[in-house]
Amino acid sequence: MFQLANGGMSYWPHSYSEDASEWGTNYAGHFLLEAQNHGYNVPSGLLEKWKQYQRNMARNYNGTGKFYGYAYEHYDLIQAYRLYLLALAGTPEMGAMNRLRENNTTLLQAKWMLAAAYFQAGQKAIAYEITKNLPTNISAYREMDYSYGSDFRDEAMMLETMTMMGDYTKAYNIVDKLSQIMRGNGWLSTQETAYGLMAMAKYAGKKGTAALDVEYKLNDGNWTSISGKSCITQINLELNKKGKGTIEVRNKNKTPIFTNLVLTGIPEAEKEVAEQKNVNMDVSYTDTKGNIIDPSKLKQGTDFIAEVRISNPGNEELDNMALSVIIPSGWQIYNPRMTGNQFAIKTSKPEYTDIRDDRVFLFYSMEGYCHRYYRNDGNDNENNGGEEKEEGDDANNAENATRNEAPDHSNSQVFRIALNASFVGKYYMPGIYTEAMYNKNIHSQTSGKWITVTKSNSPAE
C-alpha cells in the first residue's frame, strides 16, 4: 500500500486516480495499529495522516459509493470497519457511529463491526444491544473488488468482535467452522488468511489453551517430542525423497490440536500443465516488425516481442487480475524506464507494471463481454471489443497508469514485452500464468519448454 497526500492508501504508486482505496486504507491501517499495539515502531506521521483521512471519510459518509448499486451495501461495512479502527486508535467518531446506527443498516457484517466500534469506544451497553439475537451465518459470496470480501472473511471479522465482547458461546461455533476450513486443502485469499489467523489468535489468547505435548514421526524415522509452554509451533522438514511420504502426529494432551502441512518448491521442468479456466490466454512471439517467430531457437542479439493476449469469455467483470511472465536466463527484458519505447510497439495499459531482472508482473482488470467498466475520467465509451488503441499505448509503460490516464479495462487485452536473446546456451522457459487474485476459479497458464540461444554467425547478424 502507498500513502497519498490526503492520508489514504492506494494499491499502486503513480495511480491515474487521486482516490484512495477505502477498504485498502482500512486494511493497511488495521495492520499498522495491530503492529503498534504489539510493540513495533510505527511512524507517528504515517498514522496521524491515516487517522485524519479516516476521520474525514467517517464524518462525510452518506451511505453511497461510486460503483454499481449492488456494491452500495458493502459501503456500510467499509464505514463500520473504519469506525472500529478509529476507536481502536483511540479517536472514536461517536457522531458517525450514531448516524450509522440510526440508519439501521441491513448488512449483518456491518452491524457486528459497528458493535465492535461501540465496544472499543467504551459504549459496551450499546454494543450488546446491537448484537442481541443478531445472526452469525453469512451467505456464501466472493468479491473480486470493493471490499474483497467473502463469507469466510466476514465471519472471521465477526469472530474478532465476539471474542472482544466475551461472547464465547457464539464464537466457538465460528471457531470450529473456520478451523476446519483453514486446516483443509481449500484455497484462501490473502485477506481470508490474514483475518482468519488474527481472529483465531485473539480467540486463543482470550480463552487460553494448553501447552503443546505432541510427538511426530516422518516416514520410517524415530518419534520426536515437542513440548513447552507455547501453544503454537512450526517445524521445518527436509524432504529429500521423491514420491509419497508419511507424517504421523500423536497428541499426548486432552486439548485438541490442529496441524497444517505446507509444501513449497519449484515445479519440475516440463511438468507444468497448460490450463484455461474462466479466462482465455494466448501467447506468441514476434520480431520487432510483428512477424511470428519461434522462440525455441534464437540467435544471440535478437530483439523480439512476447505477446500475451488475454480475453474475458464471460459477462462479469474480472477485477484485480495478475499476469506473471518469467523469462529464461538467456533472455533479457528491455526496461522502458531506461531504454524508452524504442520499438514503437503498442500494448494495452495495465493498472500497474512491475519489471524485475528476470520477470514482469502486470496487474489489470477486464470488463465483462456485455458490460462497461466504471471510469472516473469522463469517458463513457462502449466496450471496444478488444480493439487495440492508437493512442496512449506505450510498450512496457513503466509509469503504468499515470495520473489522469486511465488503464485499459476492455474485455480483450494485448500485453507486449520487448526482449533480447542475450546469452548463448540452453535454458528453461517457465509457463506464463494469469489469475484473479481473489478468486481461485479464474486462471490460465501455458506449459513451459526449453529454449536455445545460439551464437551469431557474424557481427552483422
pLDDT band at 235 (very low <50, low <70, confident <90, very high): confident
Q: Which of 154, 184, 207 is the last residue of a domain?
A: 207
342 and 225 within one domain: no
User: Domains in the chain: how many in total?
Assistant: 3
Average pLDDT, the chain: 85
Q: By C-alpha distance, which of 319, 447, 446 is closest to 374?
A: 319
- Please name every residue paired with 355 in a beta bridge, in sequence order, or none if there are none: 360
Q: Is the Cβ–Cβ distance between 80 and 105 less than 8 Å?
A: yes
Q: Give pLDDT, residue 15.
A: 63
DSSP character for 287?
E
The string of pLDDT tens digits covering residues 108-144 is 999 999 999 999 999 999 999 999 999 998 999 888 8
285 and 188 within one domain: no
Q: Which three cell numbers stand for residue 347?
A: 500494448
200 and 217 within one domain: no
Lowest-pLDDT range of 27-31, 253-257, 294-298, 444-448: 253-257
Residue 221 belongs to some domain of the structure: yes
In this predicted structure, the answer to whether residue 344 has a pLDDT above a threshold of 80 is: no
81 and 180 within one domain: yes
223 and 197 within one domain: no
66 and 20 within one domain: yes
Residue 459 belongs to some domain of the structure: no
Q: Give pLDDT, residue 18.
A: 65
Residue 397 belongs to some domain of the structure: yes
Lowest-pLDDT range of 15-24, 154-163, 383-392: 383-392
401 and 346 within one domain: yes
**The domain containing residue 424 runs over which residues?**
275-454
Q: Which of 182, 207, 232 is the last residue of a domain?
A: 207
Residue 342 belongs to some domain of the structure: yes
Q: Write down the pTM of the prediction.
A: 0.79
Average pLDDT of span 317-330: 95
In this predicted structure, the answer to whether residue 397 has a pLDDT above a threshold of 50 is: no
301 and 243 within one domain: no
149 and 241 within one domain: no
240 and 161 within one domain: no
Provide the terminal-to-terminal Cα distance of the chain, rounded to the nearest Å. 46
8 contact partners, CB below 8 Å, separation of at least 6:
19, 20, 21, 22, 25, 50, 53, 57
Residue 413 belongs to some domain of the structure: yes
Q: By C-alpha distance, which of 279, 229, 316 is closest to 413?
A: 279
In this predicted structure, the answer to whether residue 403 has a pLDDT above a threshold of 60 is: no
Residue 267 belongs to some domain of the structure: no
Rounded to 5 degrees, what angle do the CA atoms 131, 132, 138 make?
Answer: 55
Q: Which CATH number do you get for residue 443? A: 2.60.40.690
Residue 262 belongs to some domain of the structure: no
237 and 307 within one domain: no
In this predicted structure, the answer to whether residue 445 has a pLDDT above a threshold of 90 is: yes
286 and 318 within one domain: yes
Q: Is the Cβ–Cβ distance between 324 and 361 less than 8 Å?
A: yes
Q: Which CATH number do you get for residue 71? A: 1.50.10.20
Residue 461 belongs to some domain of the structure: no
